[in-house]
């Protein structure tokens, strides 16, 4: 499978690309700074560009079997990063006739009518108080993705940690609160989704096992 990854040089993107290569896939990395891409494998193709402006996005998704976004807001990021980037990615995918798309957001993004644990509700309140712009951007991004004709999956995760992966996870309609999941375990779930075709046009929550 050829997988295009946006956010590949980030803390979730790196284990995602590493595991994809371990599983025998080819990876296309879209990066603003190609010199920061640490992979020398001949199954990796690097495309220089800026997902926020759309530069290089069409080139990156051409010929892909699946596209993954593990973008996240950092210091200095635009408040609407996920929304604008998602629009550029989905537009390019439609033009390139690529349908499979998996995108990562926080568990604070809700589905209408879903049940939320007390811990999840408390986390939602904190997000609205401390990171309202980030939450609103993620919600806008998901609304746009769900309105497309793409074969999408929105992966929702709690707080992300790193350095202690278990190799396992809980996924689906699971209760998430203040717990954390290792980024490598999230990467594993994303690849499992791509390989199995599970959770098409759904919004699974993923937490630690």
pLDDT at 121: 60
pLDDT at 8: 97
CA distance 5 to 71: 9
Neighbours of 79 (CB within 10 A): 13
Question: pLDDT per residue over 23-78, tens digit each?
Answer: 999 999 999 999 999 998 999 999 999 999 999 999 999 999 999 999 998 888 89
pLDDT at 122: 59
List, in sequence order, every beta strand (DSSP E) within 7-43.
Answer: 26-31
pLDDT at 76: 81
Delineate the domains of the chain, giving CATH numbers in brackets: 2-207 (3.40.50.720)
Q: DSSP 3-state helix, strand, coil percentages of the chain (rounded to 5)?
A: 35, 25, 40
Residues of the chain under the 50 pLDDT cut: 130
């Amino acid at each position: 499978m050829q997988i295009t990854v946006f956010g590949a040089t980030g803390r979730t993107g790196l284990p995602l690309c590493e595991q994809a290569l371990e599983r025998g896939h080819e990876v296309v990395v879209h990066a603003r700074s190609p010199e920061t891409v640490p992979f020398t494998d001949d199954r990796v193709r690097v495309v220089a560009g800026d997902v926020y402006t759309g530069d290089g996005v069409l080139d990156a998704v051409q010929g892909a079997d699946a596209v993954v976004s593990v973008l996240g807001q950092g210091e200095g990021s635009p408040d609407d990063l996920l929304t604008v980037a998602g629009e550029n990615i989905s537009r390019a995918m439609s033009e390139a006739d690529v349908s499979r798309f998996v995108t990562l957001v926080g568990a604070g993004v809700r589905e209408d009518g879903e049940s939320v644990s007390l811990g999840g509700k408390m986390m939602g309140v904190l997000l609205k108080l401390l990171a309202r712009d980030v939450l609103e951007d993620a919600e806008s991004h998901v609304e746009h993705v769900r309105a497309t004709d793409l074969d999408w999956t929105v992966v929702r995760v709690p707080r992300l940690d790193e350095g202690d992966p278990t190799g396992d996870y809980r996924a689906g309609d699971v209760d998430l609160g203040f717990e954390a999941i290792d980024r490598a375990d999230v990467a594993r779930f994303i690849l499992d989704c791509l390989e199995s075709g599970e959770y098409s046009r759904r919004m699974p929550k993923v937490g630690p096992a």
